[in-house]
Chains A and B, each alone.
Chain A
């Protein structure tokens, strides 16, 4: 679901994930192939994530 969300704008061509076991890959791929988001769900996520900022790469990205 988180991967589908990051891909919702086609400017993001791909989501780069790590894995330590094949089963982790399968879980992420299965979620990718699951049901798509509705507009309501996207709006609700927008409302909830407003103000959260977990950017560990901020120094590089905002300098």
Chain B
């Protein structure tokens, strides 16, 4: 069975309506995120690369269908994944409308704001303005009414953590995010952010750090903080971006 779509017959299976594999939940257990009610598959699919407008849409569709058929229920996005910015979300939005709409309740979808996204002072960082405006754009591009997890994508040292976390809290109260989290925050900043979030009544449930055999920084303090706060982690670049092949 080849990975390539069958162009001669007008696309073959890829261009027929999608029905997910019946046995997709028989394959492995789901893992709890901290002490929360959220569970995730042991492997999740990131759309950081390979879902921009530079990649044939059929490749993207084949990948996502295959992932869900294998019980991967979590797709991780961010506003600026592409390239260009925004196109991982728009391409995902098309797959959402065409393939995954019947399965929305079986998916954990995430997005983020924190890095460069649009021109001017409000298109980057940790301000309330940027986070709320960007989240609205992401929902529209992704063709969803809410995301399951919304992240502050990185620390903005120029913005009070109360403002950044307050914006995440607002998204939850607006029904635009079910859970909120942070990415690439230090152990110390994680503890502060978690405390602010708890005081607002919307605890952070998840941290997304870079973590692999070649990059073990999380073990120097972050994992301890996460355990104290009842949070869990989802590790990005677990294969050190190809330095480690998974054999």
- Which residues from chain A sit less than 8 Å from chain B, CB to CB? 1-3, 5-7, 9-23, 25-29, 31-33, 45, 49, 52-58, 60-63
Contacts and interface: CB of A to CB of B under 8 A. Distances in A.
21 contacts: A2-B212, A3-B246, A5-B213, A7-B42, A13-B33, A13-B39, A14-B42, A15-B43, A15-B44, A16-B44, A17-B43, A17-B44, A17-B46, A19-B50, A19-B63, A20-B63, A28-B246, A53-B214, A57-B154, A57-B184, A60-B154
Contacts of B32: 10, 13
Given A18-B46, A25-B70, A31 B210 contact: no
Contact of A6 (B3, B28, B157, B212): B212
B229 to A, nearest CB: 10
A contacts with B: majority SS: mixed
A37 B157 CA distance: 39
A2 B232 CA distance: 19
A55 B157 CA distance: 19
Contacts of A19: 45, 50, 63, 67
Interface residues of B, number: 63
Interface in B56-110: 59, 62-63, 66-67, 70, 72, 74, 76
B41 interface: yes
Interface of B: 3, 27-28, 31-34, 39-50, 55, 59, 62-63, 66-67, 70, 72, 74, 76, 154-155, 157, 184-186, 206, 208-217, 223, 226-227, 232-240, 243-247
Nearest to A9: B223
Nearest to B49: A18
A22 B76 CA distance: 17
Contacts of A10: 31-32
